[in-house]
Every structure is written in C-alpha cells, then in structure tokens.
Amino acid sequence: MAASVCRTCASQFRFKAFNFVQVSKSIQRRLSTPISMRIFSGIQPTGVPHIGNYLGAIKQWKDLQEQHRHVMYSIVDLHSIALPQDPKQLKTSILTTTAILLACGIDPERSILFQQSAVKEHAELAWVLGCKITLARLNSFTQWKAKVGSDKKKACVGLFTYPVLQSADILLYKSTHVPVGDDQKQHLEMAQEVARIFNNNYGEFFPIPKPIFGNVTKVKSLRDPTIKMSKSDDQMLSRIELLDTHDQIVKKLKKAVTDFTSEVTYDPQSRPGVSNIVMIHSAVSGKTVEDICNEVKGLETAEYKLVVAEAVNAFIEPIRYKVSSLLQDKEYLQDVLKTGADKARKIAEKNYNDVKQLVGFI
C-alpha cells in the first residue's frame, strides 16, 4: 500500500514537473519570436496641454503613428494622483485631454489611445518591478528631489515610486521604443535598468526600451525663458494653452519676458526671451528663424509680439474648434478610451500572465 502511494506521489510529482517545464518552454518559444517595434508614451490629464506639449511631444506622436504599426498612447491618470487632485476635475480633465489629443491628430485607428487605470496590470506589474528596485536608487531621482524639496515628510509614497509605475507602463507592453525629452531620460534609464534586472533573474523576457529623441521644439516659459514651459507652473501667463482664446494668447505674448533691446534677433544664449518667441513663431508658421528675422526687420519687440500672437492664434484656432466639437459628445470620447483599453488589455494580460509564471505565481 505504502509503495503504491509512493508511486502515485512520484507520478504526480513528475506530472507537475512536466507541466512546469512545458510552461517554461512555452514562454521561451514566445520569447524567441522577434518582437515588432512597439512605441509607448503617456501624458498626464492634469491641466490643459500647452503649445510646448504639442511641439515637444504630441506632434511627434502624430508623426510616429503614421510611420509605425504598433503605437500606444496612454492618459496616465494613475500618475496624476501622486499629487492631490479634485476627483470631479480629474474626470473632466481625462476627457478634455482625450479630445485635445484627437483634435491634434492622434488617430485611434492608427494607434491605441487608452486610459491607464482601465488596465489593472499596470499597477500589478509595478509591484513586481518595485520588488527589484532599491530605495537608494529611487531616492537618487532628480525629479523626486525637485518636487519634494526639503520636506519629505509630506510627500506621498506614490510620488516616490512614480518611476517604478512609469517603468511598468513601458515594459507591460514589451515596448521597444519610447519618445523622451531631456527631463525624462532618467525615467527611461530606470525602465532599462529594471528590465535588465528582471531578465537576469528570470531569463530574457523584456526588450530593453530605446529612446526616440526626434527633432522636437523645446519651448520655454514666457515668464522665465531659462526653464521649460510647464502645465504645473503657477503663473498662467507662463504658457499658451491649446484652449486659450484669441485675447488670452495676445495678452500672454504681450507680457512675455524679453529684454531691453528692441530689435528682433535669434540668439538663445544672450537673448533667451526673444529667441523663445521667434522659435514658437517658426514652429507654428513653418518658416525658418532666419527668414522670420529678415521679415520683421524694423519692427520693435513689442510690435513683433503681436505678429507672433496672430500666427499662434491661426495655428491653435482649428484645434480649439475641434476640441469644442468633440467635448459636445462625451460618449464618443469615452468609447474611444474604452476601445483603446480593450486593445491594450489584450496585450497586457498576455504579458503579465507570462510574468506571473516566471516569478512563480500560481
């Protein structure tokens, strides 16, 4: 009897071992299949995107969806609550951001546009990856230090672990490329680092994502041309939002910080304020900075600001009109996000199930 039980146990053990080997081989077969180029990027639904967001990111997103088959853009609402948010305003901002992206040319038929929190695997993978990253590594992030300052006691854990979730966003879809700006290099390096750690522990699974820098326009603050234009800047006059009215744009450019020289020239080092305005003019008009400076010879800076205001208004007006139209049909916007989330979830579920098998989850 005892021998029979032992033989049964041994048979069950061999069966379980066989299953484990089969699962591992199944995963490895999938890994051996070449991964197509997959691009991932995200935008927070906090505040209204400004012209710097368009020229520095959204325009590039539009170009990438036309050049590549597998492109994913996420409205990263999980990231947004790392800082206090009004729930009603956040709901509104998610739909407004969706409308702005669509109005700027993001096509849900060419790319997957979805809401981050609608795909639970983002948070689940973030936990797995967070178990591979040290506190010292997270504490080294410059953005963490800049946002928290000297008062770390008031900062939430979500703000501290923000880079882990960002890594999960990228790796969950086995993204191979990520459009990044200078201020995001460190976050992509974290995703690369944690991918290598995971692969060293469990075998080659995640691609090491590469940056896409592109030839993007880096727009500076209208109030302080030494720093970038930002949605989080307390000064509304510092940025031109994509939903600003004609009069608001004129007012903001009139008050843009320049210098005491009236001539319009392009010299970012010695004249950052005027040069920033010339660069914005160039980006929205398609003219070179040289042509612009030649065209406006004889105009004083104050007069030139009005010329730029008209060019910016001509550029933003179609976007503003499309957004207004889209916001009249919130069901359509919700449907775009739901359809995108369904597509994203199919990829996320498959990849995260493989992660669970690799790390030993039942």
181 alpha-carbon distance from chain centroid: 10
Check if 228 is active-site.
yes
Q: Report how far residue 346's alpha carbon sits from residue 344's, in angstroms, rounded to the nearest whole number.
A: 5
Do residues 74 and 42 make contact, with C-beta atoms less than 8 angstroms apart?
A: yes
Instruction: Choose the catalytic residue: 59, 62, 218, 231.
Output: 231
Q: Which residue stretches of the chain are H helix?
A: 2-32, 51-53, 59-67, 77-80, 87-103, 121-130, 135-139, 142-148, 157-160, 162-171, 185-202, 246-254, 272-285, 289-295, 301-326, 330-359
Residue 234: other Cβ atoms inside 10 A: 6
Alpha carbon separation from 298 to 117, 158, 303, 304 (Å, rounded): 54, 53, 10, 10
Concerning whether 147 is annotated as a catalytic residue, the answer is: yes
Identify the H or E element spanning 71.
Answer: strand 70-75
* List 132, 174, 220, 228, catalytic entry: 228
Report yes or no: 123 and 162 within 8 Å, Cβ to Cβ. Answer: no
Coil, strand, or helix at residue 181? Answer: coil
In the set 147, 251, 287, 322, the catalytic residue is 147
77, 149, 229 from 146: Cα distances, Å: 21, 5, 16
Active site residues: 147, 228, 231
